Amino acid sequence: MSRKGANNSLNAITAWFVAAICLYSQGSFAQTDTCEQIGAMARMARADSASAVMAEQQNTGSSYRANTVFAARMFVLLPTDATAAERLLSLMPSTNDESIVWGNFGLAFCQQESDSDMTTLAKLGAQLPSLLASAVILKPVELPRYVKCALLAVGDPDNDHTVQMEQVCRMKRHDFLLAVGKLDPDERKWFDSRIFDVKKCKAIHLPESDVE
């Protein structure tokens, strides 16, 4: 293993997979998104201008997934825009169901979805932790929610939220420490022992891709 404690969240990961299977079997991943809307989301994720993203948005519907794709792509195109940062941060997962949606952009959402569209959405999903870190550096008022989001993110074995959090800890250290201090005692114990070393600004929990 590349770092001590890299495999410390087996229970959280197991719970995440169980919840994912239950949601999938209930059709929750599909929500109300049609194949046409999924295709529009992929086009939105590939759009090379904010105007193109906004034009495509009318075809995507208004599901949590669609709103996330819109917010993420807008922030990619406008990385210094506070409004774009706020929009993405407002969609940060605050429940296990939302966290699972963020972690499954690489799934096929309908039989007609092309490999190209699936790849596009998977790439966007993989970018989300990095985008969140950049957004919260712009808007540190959202740090308490960002820190709390790490408690959910560690359930996804591919999510590198904790690694991206290292730069947030270094660049916004005072605000970051205040945010960590707002965790309740049980959350703080889990955070300090299993997720993140606040003193060193170093991730304890690592995504599977970073574990040797």
Q: Is residue 1 situated within a structural domain?
A: no
Q: Is residue 4 situated within a structural domain?
A: no
**Is there a contact between 58 and 115 (Cβ–Cβ < 8 Å)?**
no
Of residues 178 and 114, the one with the higher pLDDT is 178
Q: Is residue 173 situated within a structural domain?
A: yes
Q: Is residue 79 situated within a structural domain?
A: yes
- The residue whose two tokens read 């794709």 is 69
Q: Is residue 95 situated within a structural domain?
A: yes
Among 31, 94, 99, smallest CA distance to 66 is for: 31
Q: Is residue 144 situated within a structural domain?
A: yes
Question: What is the rounded distance in angstroms from the CA atom of residue 175 to the CA atom of residue 58?
Answer: 37
Domain hosting residue 166, numbered range? 10-210
- Structurally, the chain folds into a number of domains equal to 1
Q: Is residue 5 situated within a structural domain?
A: no
- Band (154; pLDDT cuts 50, 70, 90): very high
Rg (CA), the chain: 17
pLDDT over 60 (residue 3): no
Total-model pTM:
0.83
In the chain, pLDDT over 90 holds for what percent of residues? 76
**Is there a contact between 53 and 41 (Cβ–Cβ < 8 Å)?**
no
**Which whole number is the average pLDDT over 176-182?**
98
Strand ranges (E), the chain: 196-197, 202-203
**Which whole number is the average pLDDT over 113-137?**
96
Name every residue whose Cβ is closer than 8 Å to that of residue 176 and which is 6 or more positions away in sequence.
140, 143, 147, 168, 169, 198
Q: Is residue 3 situated within a structural domain?
A: no
Judged by DSSP in three states, 131 sits in: helix
